[in-house]
């Protein structure tokens, strides 16, 4: 059984909205997660919301430490503690779950952070020393319902979401983080990216909600996703040579004749390379049909690996389908009736999944 854990979707963590003041600890764009939560809830057998629920004199509040400011890091009973503005005070409007959040879809609310002397980022336990952390009851609740898989989203990526997901993993749950359903504080720039990396390294599966995902269509090189085109000017180094575009490389591989291959490699434009490659005046390799997919894979992979911008654009497409939008090609593209094989799109999606799984390595 799968459970959805919605972390701290509360007024104090969201910006100002219609009829709602800015939260005391407003996460930038924090209200964007509400719609994702509302649309996902109906697909889960168990939906749990956590609620940060502090007494008014909570020691995580900077106001409790004269001479200290919000954002300072202090030692609190032997633990590092970031000091926050007063927030989510029990019974206050700021502590309420957001109005726009479909509270009727929530099965259980788990409160945390009720001990004035210790903060509680995770929905499972407080921040106490290892082995002596107080439980919120969430683990027992999930186990009693036979939950083995949890999907986590909400606020904030770099605090409560992160610690909830890390605890879920260490408790043995098959844990997924819904990337488009989280927003973070980023007290130090990069905190959210680092939090995602940390979760990924701990075994959390970073996924997307899959909601509202239109396919990415590309064809012309000057358009938004034009770098996916084989005509885009991203040179690749393959077989010991530099090729001006993946098109040059792909077309040349059709031929055994080294002079003709070189002629294609040095063609002045990808369009000329394509014309030379399509000419049948020179015989093409007999096994071409059986190797052409791998040739294309090699070319596209090399382009993605050697050009950071291409990699970034590719990763930015999330889980969206990628389609080469051309009426002229029923094999590499979608073809005139949209029913083509779209092999180039399939290869891009395959490479996207591979570089995403490799995580950190591909970023450096």
Report the partner that residue 156 touches, choosing among ligand VGL, Zn ion, none (CB closer than 5 to 8 A by kind).
ligand VGL
Q: How far apart are CA 151 and CA 41, in angstroms?
A: 11
Residue 88 or 348 having the CB closest to ligand VGL: 88
CA-CA distance, 329 to 321, in Å (whole number)? Answer: 18
Do 124 and 168 touch, CB atoms closer than 8 A?
Answer: yes
Residues facing residue 109 across a β-bridge: 49
Residue 343 contact partner, candidates ligand VGL, Zn ion, none, CB within 5 to 8 A by sort of partner: none
Q: Which residues contact 25 (CB under 8 A, 6 or more apart)?
A: 12, 13, 84, 85, 87, 88, 185
Q: In the chain, how many H helices and how many E strands? A: 10, 12
Phi, psi angle pair for 286, to nearest 5°? -65, -30
Does the annotation count 303 as an active-site position? Answer: no
* Catalytic (active site) residue 158: no
Cα separation of 229 and 345, whole Å?
10
228 scored as a contact of ligand VGL (CB under 6 A)? no
Least Å from the CB of residue 180 to ligand VGL: 18
Q: Which is nearer to Zn ion, 121 or 249 (CB)?
A: 121
Give the largest CA-CA distance in the chain.
Answer: 85
Nearest to 127 by CA among 84, 97, 91: 84
Q: Which of 112, 162, 254, 303 is catalytic?
A: 112
Report which residue's Cβ sits closest to Zn ion: 52
Annotate each residue in 157-176 with x if it binds ligand VGL (CB under 6 A) or - if it does not, as one string.
--xx----------------
- Residue 31 binding ligand VGL, by CB under 6 A: no
Q: Pick from 12, 31, 52, 180 the residue near Zn ion by CB under 5 A.
A: 52
CA of residue 326 relative to chain centroid, distance: 29
Q: How far is the CB of 119 from ligand VGL (least distance, A)?
A: 7
Residue 155's binding partner out of Zn ion, ligand VGL, none, with CB under 5 to 8 Å set by partner kind:
ligand VGL
Residue 139 as a binder of ligand VGL (CB under 6 A): the answer is: no
Output the smallest distance, CB 65 to Zn ion, in A: 15
Query: Could you give the CA distance from residue 131 to residue 78 in angstroms, rounded to a whole number?
Result: 15
- The reply on whether position 126 binds ligand VGL by CB under 6 A is no
Could you confirm whether 112 is annotated as catalytic? yes
Cis peptide before 259 (omega within 30 of 0): no
Out of 156, 177, 195, 314, the residue judged to bind ligand VGL by CB under 6 A = 156
Residue 317's Cβ-side half-sphere holds a number of Cα atoms within 13 Å equal to: 27
Minimum CB separation from ligand VGL for residue 359, in Å? 23
115 vs 329 by CB, closer to ligand VGL: 115
Binding site for Zn ion (CB under 5 A): 52
Active-site positions read: 8, 112, 160
């Amino acid at each position: 059984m799968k459970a959805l854990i919605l972390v701290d979707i509360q007024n104090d963590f969201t910006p100002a909205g219609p009829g709602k003041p800015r939260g005391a600890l407003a996460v930038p764009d924090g209200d964007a997660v509400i719609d994702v939560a509302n649309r996902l809830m109906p697909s889960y057998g168990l939906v749990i919301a956590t609620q940060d629920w502090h007494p008014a004199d909570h020691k995580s509040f900077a106001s409790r430490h004269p001479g200290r400011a919000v954002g300072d890091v202090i030692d609190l009973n032997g633990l590092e503690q970031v000091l926050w503005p007063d927030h989510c005070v029990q019974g206050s409007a700021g502590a309420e779950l957001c109005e726009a959040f479909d509270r009727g879809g929530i099965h259980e609310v788990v409160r945390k952070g009720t001990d004035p002397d210790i903060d509680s980022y995770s929905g499972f336990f407080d921040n106490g020393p290892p082995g002596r952390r107080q439980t919120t009851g969430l683990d027992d609740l999930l186990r009693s319902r036979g939950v083995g898989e949890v999907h986590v989203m909400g606020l904030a990526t770099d605090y409560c979401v992160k610690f909830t997901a890390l605890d879920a993993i260490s408790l043995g749950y098959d844990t997924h983080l819904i990337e488009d359903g989280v927003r973070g504080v980023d007290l130090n720039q990069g905190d959210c990216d680092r939090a995602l990396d940390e979760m990924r390294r701990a075994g959390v599966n970073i996924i997307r909600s899959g909601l509202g995902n239109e396919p990415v269509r590309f064809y012309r090189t000057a358009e938004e996703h034009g770098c996916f085109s084989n005509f885009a000017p991203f040179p690749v180094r393959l077989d010991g040579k530099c090729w001006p575009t993946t098109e040059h490389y792909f077309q040349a591989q059709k031929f055994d004749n080294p002079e003709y291959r070189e002629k294609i490699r040095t063609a002045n434009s990808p369009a000329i390379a394509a014309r030379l490659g399509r000419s049948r005046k020179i015989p093409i390799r007999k096994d071409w049909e059986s190797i052409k997919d791998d040739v294309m894979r090699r070319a596209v992979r090399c382009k993605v690996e050697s050009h950071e911008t291409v990699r970034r654009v590719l990763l930015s497409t999330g889980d969206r389908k990628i389609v080469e939008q051309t009426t002229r090609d029923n094999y590499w593209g979608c073809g005139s009736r949209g029913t083509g094989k779209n092999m180039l799109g399939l290869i891009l999606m395959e490479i996207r999944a591979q570089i995403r799984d490799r995580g950190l390595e591909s970023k450096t």
